[in-house]
Amino acid sequence: MTHSEIMEKVQRIFREVFDDDTLVIEDSTNSSDIEDWDSLEHITLVVSMEKEFGLKFDLKEVNELANVGEMVDLIASKL
C-alpha cells in the first residue's frame, strides 16, 4: 500500500473520529492543528488505525509520533 493510499484511509478515520466531513489532513498535521485532538481522541485514533489496518502498535511507538506523516510511515512499516 502506498503512502497516499494509507493517507486516504487515515483521512477517513480522522473525519469519522472528529465527526467532520470537511477535515483535510496532511503529513504535517498534528494535535495543535485540530482543536478536539486531545489525549482521549488520540487513543480513539490509534485504536481505529489498528482496526482499519489490522495491526498492533506499542505505546512507545505511538508516543514518539510527531505528526500524521509519521503515523502513516509507522503504519507502512508494519504492513
Partner 1 sequence: MNEYKYEEIEVGQKESFTVTVTEDMMSSFQAVTGDINPLHNDEDYAVSKGHPGRVVYGMLTASLLSTLAGVYIPGKNSLIHEVKIKFSKPVYIGDTLTTEGLVEEKHDVYSLIVLKVSIRNQKGDKVCKAVMQVGVAD
Identify which of residues 47 and 66 has a Cβ nearer to partner 1 in the complex. Answer: 47
Identify which of residues 24 and 40 has a Cβ nearer to partner 1 in the complex. Answer: 40
Measured CA distances, 14 to 44, 65 (Å): 10, 16
Interaction between residue 79 and partner 1 (CB under 8 A) = no
Q: How far is the CB of 51 from partner 1 (least distance, A)?
A: 8
d(CA 27, CA 67): 7
d(CA 77, CA 75): 5
Residues at the site binding partner 1, with contacts judged by CB under 8 A: 40, 43-44, 46-47, 50, 56-59, 62
